[in-house]
Structure 1
Amino acid sequence: MLKTINWGIIGLGSIANKFATDLLTIEGAKLYAVASRNQDKADAFAAKYNATKAFGSYEAMVEDKNIDAIYIATPHALHKENTLLCLQHGIAVLCEKPFAMNADEVSEMIAKAKAENVLLMEALWTYFLPHYQYVLKALEDKVFGNLVKLEADFGFHRDFDDSTRLFNKSLGGGSLLDIGIYPIFAALSTLGIPKTINAQATYFENGADSSCTMLFDYDDTKALLKSTLLENAPTEAIFYCENGTIKINTMFHMPTTVTLIPKGGKPETIDFNYKTIGYNYETIHFNELLRAGKTESDVMTFAFSEQLIKTLDAVRTKINLEY
């Protein structure tokens, strides 16, 4: 019998709904509590997903000794504050990406987790999806030889609305932190830290970035990356290798298919037969870490999270984007 992990959720927006939906599919996991700054919203969310308790404040929820882990799904600018609150109460934290607003905040969060000896992990769900793990293994095994170029993008159109989180610069809104993190993640997880970074951006009237184009230079290869809120982009990750191409098809960051295209050969598309939204994979991994008494993931490591936020900071420096 698996020890049941009692989960709490802080922040009850759209991503929290997806997380809660997939949590219901996981053996040995229960949505025990939810918290919002609005009690009615917490009550409605708890009723929808059959949570045991609903709290009208985050501070009240972390006092509940029955909670084993908390998923943080608040706006980016609140991640550090919310994470530190949970950690100081000895509660394991799975914090939605980006981990925080900058490298200094991430360092503070990691230091607190280490000091309290409590599990902390950035929730970058793509890393745990079977199709992405398949591509990582194919590249590592050099199925088509060495990787020579990566192209990855993420884009969709939304009418500008400064009242929403997506465009609110003070909450970390804009294309880079919200969706640019995925193409950057694709580069870091396959090519590592770039030798040089070049980037250009466009901006909304409130100073939030509307699009960002990036070039990561490595010794023998390049990564061409893009994020945009101005247009619907293919949202693919294409790995060009010496003897063929590995393409993660549209919406590469979430459950999708992979096409293998050998030079001069016939393309083959692999379907991974996903049955969930995809948030269950990172959650199952986190549950296993918690049961094993681990305080850091061996997949989404602290070192990788630090590399990721430092790279985002470096891009922001290039495009003169300050929060």
Structure 2
Amino acid sequence: MTGLRWGILATGGIAHAFTRDLRTAGLNVTAVGSRSADSAARFAAEFGIPRVHGSYEELVSDPDVDIVYVSTPHPLHAQNAILALEHGKHVLVEKPFTLTGAEAAAVRDAAAGTGLLAMEAMWTRYLPHMIRIRELVGSGALGDLRAVFADHTQRISTDPGHRLNALELGGGALLDLGIYPISFAWDILGAPVSVTAAATLGPTGVDGEVATILAHASGALSTSISASHAAGPNTAHIVGTEARIDIDRVWYNPTSFRLVAPDGSVRESFESEVDGRGMQYQAIAAEQYVAEGRSDSEILPIDETVAIMQTLDEIRRQIGLQYPGER
């Protein structure tokens, strides 16, 4: 770790979870910024953060901040990330990276040539069980990969005023929940060559359920189901000709998995032992990249983040989901 000085931009629930894990890992959180000075002060008091800012502009201008964690609502991610980059700060941007593929490309382009790290906070990819799964896949232990299955299904509020049901905030199952299994499919099988999607749109216009089938260049298929109004198993599976991996509930959190032979025998079991929620691993990776003089993530390169956002654009096109003001 480099001892980077972290600034937290916005003080919502995900910022609390992330900062709690930064503290668990002993990382250096030096500043917080909010549109409300009172909110920033309360957040700083809760986590013992010395520097408090009543605007995002003040936070990104702080000379004692090296890297900014962006955790505002989805439609603000791009402008907030670019603001931080323009002030010389590395950025870790909460998933989904932006609202659209075009916005993701704009953040990537803003970071290009600056030597600054711009990274999506897809924290699942950095968890220990996912690291081991990629090792097994890369070793050929599963043989020829044929399929990936994953769901992210939760029972969340149906209140029209809830953020997840607000179209103007990028609400819906896809961006908050579907991003996880779709990014997972990309991670294991690579870019899709075709996308098929279907969804149920709710009374506010957001997708309450969305299902996808992605065909990949190898001939393998990946499927996902995401839902915000009904809780499912939240498990994932990778199926190969020589073995499969069964990832237990909740697959995108620190959890366990088994490498299973075609006859059902277990060849390997993995149990996660993680302090906190596990969001610190992405932060530790970001610090390592900066220490190595790198401006991109080895585990989730910025070009892949942009391409995944473009896949989500195509899913939204197919299901008829468009955000206000989107071109």
Give TM-score scaled by structure 2 length: 0.94
From 89, 99, 109, give the equivalent of 1:91: 89
2:225 matches 1:226: yes
Residue 9 of structure 1 is matched in structure 2 by 8
Q: Which residue in 2 is equivalent to 1:311?
A: 311
1:107-159 CA distances to partner (integer Å, 9 max, x unpaired)? 11111111433221111111111101111111122213111111111001123
Structure 2 distance, partners of 1:116, 1:270, is 40
The structural deviation recorded for 1:291 is 2.3
Aligned partner of 1:4: which letter? G
Aligned to 2:290: 290
SS at match of 1:17: helix
Once the two structures are TM-superposed, the CA of residue 244 in structure 1 deviates from its matched residue by: 2.6
1:3 is displaced (CA, Å) by: 4.4
Query: What's the counterpart of residue 280 of structure 2?
Result: 280
Q: Count residues in correspondence.
A: 321
Q: Whole-Å Cα distance in 1 between the matches of residues 50 and 248 of structure 2?
A: 39
Task: Please report how far the alpha carbon of residue 220 of structure 1 lies from its aligned counterpart in structure 2 after TM superposition.
Answer: 2.5
Map of 1:51 onto structure 2: 49
Q: CA deviation at 1:272?
A: 2.2
State the 1:162 CA deviation. 2.4
Segments of structure 2 that go 5 or more residues without pairing to the other structure are none
For residue 284 of structure 1, give the secondary structure of its aligned residue in structure 2. helix
Give structure 1 regions of 4+ aligned residues with deviation exceeding 6 angstroms.
none
Note if 1:299 corresponds to 2:290.
no
Taking the TM superposition and a 5 Å limit, the aligned residue runs for 1:144-155 are 144-155=142-153
Give the counterpart letter for 2:263 in structure 1: G
- How far the C-alpha of 1:80 sits from its partner, in A, is 0.5
Residue pair 2:24, 2:275 contacting (<8 A) in 1 also: no
CA RMSD, 1 decimal: 1.4
Which structure 2 residues correspond to residues 133-172 of structure 1 after superposition, within 5 A?
133-172=131-170
SS at match of 1:285: helix
Cα separation, 2, equivalents of 1:194 and 1:187: 9
Question: Given residue 289 of structure 1, which amino acid in structure 2 is its aligned partner?
Answer: Y
Please give the alpha-carbon distance, in whole angstroms, between the structure 2 residues aligned to 1:235 and 1:132: 15
Inter-partner Cα distance in structure 1 for 2:321 and 2:77: 19
Compared with structure 1, are the counterparts of its residues 3 and 133 closer, same or farther at alpha carbon in structure 2 (3 Å cutoff)? closer
Residue 215 of structure 1 deviates from its aligned partner by 0.9
- CA deviation vs aligned residue, 1:160-184 (integer Å, no higher than 9, x gap): 1222222111111100011100110
Q: 1:243 and 1:117, CA in 2 relative to 1: closer, same or farther beyond 3 A?
A: closer
Separation in structure 2 between the aligned mates of residue 233 and residue 107 of structure 1, nearest angstrom? 33
| Superposed displacement of residue 68, structure 1 | 0.5
Q: Which amino acid aligns with 2:288?
A: E
Q: Indicate how the Cα distance of structure 1 residues 293 and 140 shifts in structure 2: closer, same or farther if over 3 A, else same.
A: closer
Deviation for aligned residue 1:260 = 2.0
Separation of aligned partners in 1, 2:169 and 2:271:
37
Cα pair 1:186 1:237 within 8 Å, conserved: no
% identical equivalent positions: 32
Residue aligning to 1:209: 207
Q: 2:111 aligns with which of 102, 113, 134?
A: 113
